[in-house]
């Protein structure tokens, strides 16, 4: 390959090298943004280039904060390269070599983070096939990241590829490698984290094959509360394991909470962060004297990095690469990252050091253009022709600075919906001719103020608090909340089904949600309002989080809101009049219950929890 390099990036140091190429830490020349670049040489054998294209294809399908992000695939007549997020962290392999083992709650945290990365891959139809400690990076914040999709494949592909100490029985037999094969490998690594040794440790490949195929799982010294996780994860038959990583995460959280308390994950993250910090001189960016970009962690590329730093691999991009133009004028087929996302334009990267032209065959979020979306406020002032309502100072949120105009348009449409719901709801007061006649020359007035919760990088949660001045008419006696959480990757508003696990809508889950509400007068009022001859009944259920068809003018009675430090549950206020017991049940605004994330986040889907702040 010689000294071929992609243009626009300055090489800082080599992280690793092998027979087919090398991995380097580099910086974008204009901005200094750090990246990891994985190079392969071009020769008579087309296999290395095809492998790199396949890796880029697998990476481009996957989007998760627990998987390193792909930025570009670049090809020229002298070589090819993929440019990825540069992760400042240390591999789990180095952590275990230094410390021997991890405390169980820290091991569970590593397992959960990398399982969430695997879950994102599985959702995109990708099987990693080489999950091992060297391919898990622990950055300074303690949140593990999955790297190196060099031998990843489409789910269902048959192959013996993998690392022998972590290969599932079906991989040894060249059977189909599905998501449960990754579950098996992750369980092997979890066992190693807890015990300081691998579950099967024969000295030869033949011996390892026999143990993985037939030997019982050695659970005698393993912590008893965690044995069911390992027994199922290392089942010889794929049908007896979890079907995928998300199923495994759901059981993991339940077991961890029972064994180590509701705050197990926070303690695990803190323990991992402390462990990683002790090895910070091995971090690639720290060793190179480079500051990590604000709001990011670094993640690297396929070969193991020198000095124990992060290797390279990465994912997260979405888009479609078109035909690849090379310096010789040839073409090769591009790959499909996501069919639902518009094709990414080809971008000429410029002359290389060797004097040839390289072309960006695929490009997603550019590191040199990385920026957070901005949440701004807009206002609406409108008088309706039928004089039902006048909107005066109706604030609502908007987002700008997004890289995809179509997604920004969709996000802004979703952010406007709660204001439209409030307008429709408060029009009810003056909808009759009699009510409007009673107003005389006056009108009911509605304004709204915006409460911002999460504001990026990929979720924005807002509430609109109504300010209603009634001049005439009578309302329905209940007062809902108005708000929305928008996924900035797609522009779509999240529904309760996107937020909660299906099982959470059951009696046990909704009871946990009720129990999570802090004690106080609002909770007591609500309990009194939902007490009858049969006693108190829990107002939380699946239907409460969806539009009530009997009240088309009203948004859902229960509204999830994600704050920067806590979860807020907004619930419809009820004006049922004063209670004979002396407790005033008249409530002319929605209840707002602030709940620490640690108390209820196990009710949420794991892929959502991965995007929330640590409680």
| DSSP code at position 611 | T
SS3 content of the chain, % helix, strand, coil (to 5): 35, 25, 40
Q: Mean per-residue pLDDT for 526-536? A: 78
Q: How do beta strands 445-455 and 390-400 pair?
A: parallel
Is pLDDT of 267 > 60?
A: yes
Q: Mean per-residue pLDDT for 199-209? A: 91
Is pLDDT of 613 > 70?
A: yes
Instruction: Express each pLDDT in 498-526 by its tens digit.
Output: 999 888 999 999 999 999 999 988 888 88
Instruction: Express each pLDDT in 99-134 by its tens digit.
Output: 899 999 899 988 888 888 888 888 777 787 788 898
Is pLDDT of 302 > 50?
A: no
Q: Which domains does the chain have, with CATH numbers?
A: 9-87+314-369 (3.30.200.20), 91-279 (1.10.510.10), 374-609 (no CATH)
Per-residue pLDDT at 344: 29
Per-residue pLDDT at 427: 87
Residue corresponding to tokens 């091991």 = 107
Q: φ and ψ at 83, to 5 degrees?
A: -110, 130
Per-residue pLDDT at 325: 27
Of the listed 45, 88, 130, 221, which one is catalytic? 130
Q: Mean per-residue pLDDT for 405-415? A: 91
Peptide bond into 457 cis (omega under 30): yes
Instruction: Express each pLDDT in 350-370 by its tens digit.
Output: 333 333 344 555 455 444 444
Q: What percent of the chain has pLDDT over 70?
A: 77
Per-residue pLDDT at 160: 52
The SS3 of residue 479 is strand
Number of residues assigned to the chain: 615
In the residue annotation, 130 being an active-site residue is answered as yes
Instruction: Express each pLDDT in 137-167 by its tens digit.
Output: 888 777 788 877 655 544 444 455 678 889 8
Per-residue pLDDT at 145: 82
| Predicted TM-score (pTM) of this structure | 0.56
The SS3 of residue 106 is helix
pLDDT band at residue 579 under the 50/70/90 scheme? low
Instruction: Express each pLDDT in 364-393 by its tens digit.
Output: 544 444 456 788 889 899 887 667 788 998
> Residue 309 and residue 451: Cα distance in Å, rounded?
42
> Residue 568 and residue 489: Cα distance in Å, rounded?
23
Per-residue pLDDT at 298: 38
């Amino acid at each position: 390959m010689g000294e071929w390099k992609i243009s626009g990036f300055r090489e800082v140091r080599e992280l690793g090298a092998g027979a087919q190429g090398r991995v380097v830490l580099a910086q974008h020349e204009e901005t200094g943004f750090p990246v990891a670049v994985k190079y392969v040489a071009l020769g008579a054998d087309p296999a290395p280039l095809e492998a790199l294209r396949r890796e880029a294809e697998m990476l481009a399908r996957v989007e998760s904060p627990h998987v390193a992000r792909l930025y570009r695939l670049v090809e020229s007549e002298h070589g090819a390269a993929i440019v990825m997020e540069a992760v400042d962290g240390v591999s789990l392999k180095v952590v275990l070599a230094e410390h021997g083992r991890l405390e169980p709650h820290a091991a569970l945290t590593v397992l959960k983070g990398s399982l969430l990365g695997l879950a994102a891959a599985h959702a995109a139809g990708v099987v990693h096939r080489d999950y091992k400690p060297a391919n898990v990076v622990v950055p300074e914040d303690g949140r593990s990241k999955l790297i190196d999709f060099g031998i990843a494949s489409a789910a269902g592909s048959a192959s013996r590829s993998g690392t022998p100490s972590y290969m599932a029985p079906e991989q040894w037999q060249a059977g189909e490698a599905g998501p449960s094969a990754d579950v098996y490998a992750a369980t092997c690594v979890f066992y190693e984290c807890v015990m300081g040794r691998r579950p099967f440790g024969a000295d030869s490949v033949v011996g390892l094959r026999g143990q993985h195929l037939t030997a019982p799982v050695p659970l005698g010294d393993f912590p008893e509360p965690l044995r069911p996780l390992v027994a199922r994860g290392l089942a010889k038959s794929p049908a007896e394991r979890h079907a995928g990583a998300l199923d495994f995460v759901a059981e993991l959280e339940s077991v961890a909470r029972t064994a180590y308390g509701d705050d197990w994950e926070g303690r695990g993250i803190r323990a991992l962060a402390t462990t990683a910090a002790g090895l910070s001189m091995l971090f690639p960016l720290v060793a190179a004297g480079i500051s990590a970009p604000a709001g990011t962690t670094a993640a690297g590329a396929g070969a193991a990095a020198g000095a124990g730093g992060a290797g390279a691999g990465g994912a997260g991009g979405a888009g479609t690469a078109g035909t690849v133009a090379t310096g010789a004028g040839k073409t090769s087929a591009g790959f499909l990252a996501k069919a639902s996302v518009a094709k990414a334009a080809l971008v000429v990267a410029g002359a290389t050091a060797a004097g040839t032209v390289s072309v960006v065959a695929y490009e997603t979020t550019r590191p040199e253009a990385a920026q957070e979306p901005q949440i701004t406020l807009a206002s609406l002032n409108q008088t309706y022709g039928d004089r039902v309502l006048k909107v005066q100072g109706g604030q609502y949120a908007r987002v700008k600075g997004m890289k995809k105009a179509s997604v920004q348009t969709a996000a802004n449409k979703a952010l406007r919906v709660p204001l439209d719901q409030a307008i429709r709801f408060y029009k009810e007061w003056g909808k009759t001719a009699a009510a409007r006649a009673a107003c005389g020359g006056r009108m009911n007035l509605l304004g709204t103020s915006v409460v911002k919760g999460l504001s990026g990088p990929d979720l924005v949660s807002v509430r609109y608090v109504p300010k209603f001045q009634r001049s005439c008419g009578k309302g329905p006696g209940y007062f809902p909340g108005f708000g929305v959480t928008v996924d900035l990757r797609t522009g779509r508003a999240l529904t309760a089904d996107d937020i909660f696990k299906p099982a959470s809508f059951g009696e046990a889950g909704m009871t946990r949600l009720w129990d999570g509400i802090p004690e106080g007068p609002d909770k007591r009022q609500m309990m009194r309002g939902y007490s009858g001859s049969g006693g108190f009944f829990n107002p939380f259920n699946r239907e409460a989080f969806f539009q009530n068809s009997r009240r088309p003018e009203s948004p859902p009675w229960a509204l999830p809101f994600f704050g920067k430090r806590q979860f807020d549950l907004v619930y419809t206020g009820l004006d049922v009049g004063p209670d004979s017991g002396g407790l005033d049940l008249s409530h002319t605004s929605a209840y707002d219950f602030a709940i620490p994330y640690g108390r209820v986040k196990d009710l949420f889907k794991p892929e959502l929890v991965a995007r929330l702040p640590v409680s």
